[in-house]
């Protein structure tokens, strides 16, 4: 693992730099897809920027609400840049709400906008997996398999490498714009469904899982719910498109 890069007196967190690179390149992918779908790329970039800022604030506030004792004693810690003090679920919820409001106010086509976001999101997930390799986060469970890696004083599943391979596979699928018609929101839903399915699979090899009563892994339960919702809306939108197509030819 390679968590830091030292250049003279400066120390750079490699995982953070990797995520910034993923965000920057992902936005380029989104702008290219927006042009392909004839969506105003500048407006979409602004929408993503505001949703990211709101999501970051929401993630920090959500974490503070989960651990109020920490921040009541040191309120200035809210301004910390540490990515480990963020609540991903709270950040995602706030970011999506802001994105939905922006899209509605700018009268952007919702489903085409989602499809424009899909390749950038899929690419960012690849960089997220690489960031996990560099930082050692999302580490695997102890194992004796021949390809185990030594991390945190244990031989473990190289879960970060599993994650990278699957994320890259999902990106290649999404770049093919497999679901048709384009701009119907199906590519975005497929991104979410495949990413959720990969989390269900990968969680089996993780050594940092949060367990609920009964032995259920929190991440797997949430991912299964998201995957089911995604497939439900894919089927609903595909049926809607089929009905509209039949109606236009009758």
Q: What is the pLDDT of residue 221?
A: 93
- pTM of this prediction? 0.86
Question: Tokens representing 128?
Answer: 């997220």
For 2, the 3-state DSSP assignment is coil
Burial readout 156-184 (b: 16 or more C-beta within 10 A, e: otherwise):
bbbbbbbbbebbbebbebbeebebeeebb
The interaxial angle of helices 159-175 and 110-135, nearest 10 deg, is: 150
CA angle 163, 177, 193 (to 5 degrees): 45
From first to last of the 250 residues of the chain, give the pLDDT tens digit.
677 777 778 777 888 889 889 999 999 999 999 999 999 999 999 999 999 999 888 888 887 787 777 667 677 666 665 566 667 777 888 988 999 899 999 999 999 999 999 999 999 999 999 999 998 888 999 999 999 999 989 999 999 999 999 999 999 999 988 877 888 999 999 999 999 999 999 999 999 888 999 999 988 998 999 999 999 999 999 887 655 544 444 4
**Burial (CB count within 10 angstroms: exposed 0-12, middle 13-18, buried 19+), residue 109:** middle
H/E stretch holding 186: helix 186-202
**Burial (CB count within 10 angstroms: exposed 0-12, middle 13-18, buried 19+), residue 10:** exposed
Q: What is the pLDDT of residue 7?
A: 78
Q: What is the pLDDT of residue 232?
A: 95
**What does DSSP assign to residue 210?**
P
């Amino acid at each position: 693992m390679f968590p830091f890069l030292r250049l003279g007196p400066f120390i750079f967190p490699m995982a953070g730099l990797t995520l910034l690179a993923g965000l920057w390149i992902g936005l380029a992918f989104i702008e290219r897809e927006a042009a392909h779908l004839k969506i105003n790329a500048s407006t979409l970039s602004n929408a993503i920027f505001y949703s990211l800022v709101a999501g970051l604030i929401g993630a920090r506030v959500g974490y503070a609400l989960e651990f109020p004792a920490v921040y009541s004693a040191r309120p200035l810690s809210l301004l910390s840049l540490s990515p480990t003090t963020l609540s991903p679920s709270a950040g995602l919820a706030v970011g999506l709400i802001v994105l939905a409001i922006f899209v509605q106010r700018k009268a952007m086509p919702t489903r085409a906008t989602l499809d424009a976001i899909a390749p950038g999101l899929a690419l960012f997930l690849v960089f997220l997996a690489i960031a996990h390799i560099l930082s050692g986060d999302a580490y695997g469970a102890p194992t004796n398999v021949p390809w185990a890696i030594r991390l945190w004083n244990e031989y473990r599943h190289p879960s970060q490498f599993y994650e990278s391979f699957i994320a890259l596979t999902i990106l290649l699928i999404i770049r093919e714009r497999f679901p048709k018609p384009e701009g119907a929101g199906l590519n975005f839903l497929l991104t979410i469904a495949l990413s959720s399915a990969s989390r269900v699979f990968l969680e089996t090899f993780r050594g940092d899982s949060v367990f609920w009563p009964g032995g259920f892994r929190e991440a797997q339960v949430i991912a299964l719910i998201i995957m089911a919702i995604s497939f439900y809306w894919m089927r609903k939108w595909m049926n809607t498109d089929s009905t509209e197509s039949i109606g236009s030819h009758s």
